[in-house]
Amino acid sequence: MTKTAGIIGGTGYTGGELARILCTHPDIEVAVMTSRQSAGKKVSKTHSYLDSYMDLEFVDSIPGSMDLDMVFVATPHGAAMQYTPELMESGVKVIDLSGDYRLRKATLYQQWYGKEHTDPENLAKAVYGIPELFREEIGRAQLVANPGCYPTATVLAMAPLFKEGVVLPDVIVDAKSGTSGAGMVPSPRTHHPYCGETIVPYNVGKHRHTPEMEMVLDMITGGESKVLFSPHLLPIVRGILSSCYMDLKVDLSEEELVKMYDKMYGKERFVHVVDEPSIRAVVCSNHCQVAVKRVGSRAVAFGAIDNLVKGASGQAVQCANLMLGLKEEAGLDMPGMGV
C-alpha cells in the first residue's frame, strides 16, 4: 500500500530535492507541502522541474485532519523543534533535515547553534540517520535526525578505520563543498563574483558540523574523538569531497586498509570503495564513493557525495524507506551523472 508523506518547508533546496525524488517514488506519495510565503502557489511554479510531475499547491501548514505516514521537516535550524513535538504526539514518523536533533546534548546544541533547545524530550529519542551505520535503529525509530552533508561524507570515509580501531582519535578533515550547501538565500560569501573561480576556506574550527562528526565517531568507537575541520567553498553547485588525515596505531599495508573498507561496504548499495573518488561520479545520486590510501605512518581517507542527495534529501528518503518497511533503495536506485 502506498505511504503518504508531507514536507514542511518545501521551497528550499532540500524541500525541492525531496519532492524531486519522491515524485517518482514507487511507494511514497507526497500529499502536502508547506510554505508560508508561497501558500496557494503551485509547487511547480517554484520548482519548475516538477512541472507535470507534481500538481500540488503549497499550503501554510499541514491540516490537523490529514492522515500521514511520514513528515519530512526541511526547515532552517531552530524551526524544526517547533513542529516536531506535535507531530510526535500524533504518532506520525518524522525526519528532521535541519540540525535540531543531531546533537545528543541540549547544551551542545546551544553552544554550537546559539539557541536554547526547546524539545529535549524528543532530542533524547532521535536516531542519527546514516543507514550504513545505524540501519536497525533507524528502522525502529519514530524520529530520525538526518545527518549534515559534511559529516555524511566524512564519517563514511573514516568509519571502517575507526570501527577496526586502527587509527588515533585525533583527525584532520579538509572538505570542499558546492555552493548549494549554503542554502537558497544568497549571501556575500556565495555571490558568484566572490566565490567563482576560487576556493574559499570558511568557519575553520567553528563549523557546526564539527561536534556532529566527533559525536558519530565516538558512537562507533565508544571513545573520545577530536576533529580539526577545515571546510572550503568550491565554485560548483553540487557535491562534497572530504579528505581525512589519520595517524595509524597499527602498521598496516594499504591493501589491508582497503580490505577493511571492502568488509564494511562490500554489500552496501550506496557506498562504493574506489581508487579515486569523484564528485561528478555521484552528483544527482544517493551514492557515496570512498577510498583509503597509506602515506607513511598515516592513512588518508576520502568521501565524495552529492550534498543535496546523500548529504540531505536522498539520505532522508533512504531513512524513510527503512522506517516505513520499504525497500531501502526504493526511489533512489539511479547512478550519478558521470560527466
Q: Over the stretch 98-141, which tens digit does the pLDDT of each residue have?
A: 999 999 999 999 999 999 999 999 999 999 999 999 999 999 99
Instruction: Assess whether 235 and 163 both reside in one domain.
Output: yes
Are 7 and 133 part of one and the same domain?
yes
pLDDT in tens, 210-252: 999 999 999 999 989 999 999 999 999 999 999 999 999 999 9
pLDDT band at 3 (very low <50, low <70, confident <90, very high): very high
User: Which CATH number fits the domain that encloses residue 212?
Assistant: 3.30.360.10
User: Measured between alpha carbons, how far apart are the two ends of the chain, in Å?
Assistant: 37
Residue 50 within any structural domain of the chain: yes
pLDDT value of position 110: 97
Q: Is there a single domain that holds both residue 217 and residue 235?
A: yes
- The C-alpha cell 577496526 sits at 164
Which residues make beta-bridge pairs with 5? 30, 70
Q: How much of the chain exceeds pLDDT 90, in percent? A: 93
Q: Locate cell 536522498: which residue?
A: 314
Same domain, 65 and 97: yes
**Do residue 154 and residue 286 come from a single domain?**
yes
Give the DSSP letter of residue 148: P
In a domain, 16, yes or no: yes
Same domain? 158 vs 45: no
Q: Are residues 11 and 92 in the same domain?
A: yes
Residues 111 and 161 in one domain: no
Q: Are residues 136 and 264 in the same domain?
A: no
Amino acid 17 reads E
Q: Residue 184: pLDDT above 80?
A: no
Give the domain extent around 23.
3-145+310-323
Indicate if 154 and 303 belong to the same structural domain: yes
As annotated, the active-site residues are 149
Judge contact between 218 and 224, C-beta under 8 A: yes
Classify residue 226: in a domain, yes or no: yes
The SS3 of residue 247 is strand
Q: Answer whether residue 334 is part of any domain.
A: no
User: Do 316 and 187 belong together in one domain?
Assistant: no
Percentage of the chain modeled with pLDDT above 70: 100
Cα–Cα–Cα angle for 1, 16, 282, nearest 5°?
90
Number of domains, the chain = 2
Q: What does the alpha-carbon distance between residue 317 and residue 126 come to, in Å, rounded to a whole number?
A: 16
**pLDDT class of 193 with cuts at 50, 70, 90:** confident
- Cα–Cα distance for residue pair 76/56, rounded to 1 Å: 22
pLDDT computed for residue 97 by the predictor:
98
pLDDT at 297 over 80: yes
Q: Is 173 contained in some domain?
A: yes
pLDDT of res. 323: 98
CATH number at residue 317: 3.40.50.720
Residues 213-247 as b/e (b if ≥16 CB within 10 A, e otherwise) read bbbbbebbbeeebebebbbebbebebbbbbbbbbe
331 lies in a domain?
no
Whether 99 and 15 map to the same domain: the answer is yes
Mean pLDDT computed over 152-169: 98
What are φ and ψ of residue 123, in 5° steps?
-55, -40
Alpha helix ranges (H) inside 183-269: 192-195, 209-221, 254-265
What pLDDT, on a 0 to 100 scale, did the predictor assign at position 192?
81
CB-count exposure of residue 104 (10 Å: 0-12, 13-18, 19+): middle
In the predicted model, what is the mean pLDDT of the chain? 96
Residue 247 lies in a domain: yes
**pTM tops 0.85, yes or no:** yes
Q: Are 101 and 143 in contact (CB under 8 A)?
A: yes
Q: Is residue 333 part of a domain?
A: no
Q: For the residues 297-311, what does the mean pLDDT come to? A: 98
Would you state the pLDDT for residue 126?
98
What pLDDT is attached to residue 196?
Answer: 82
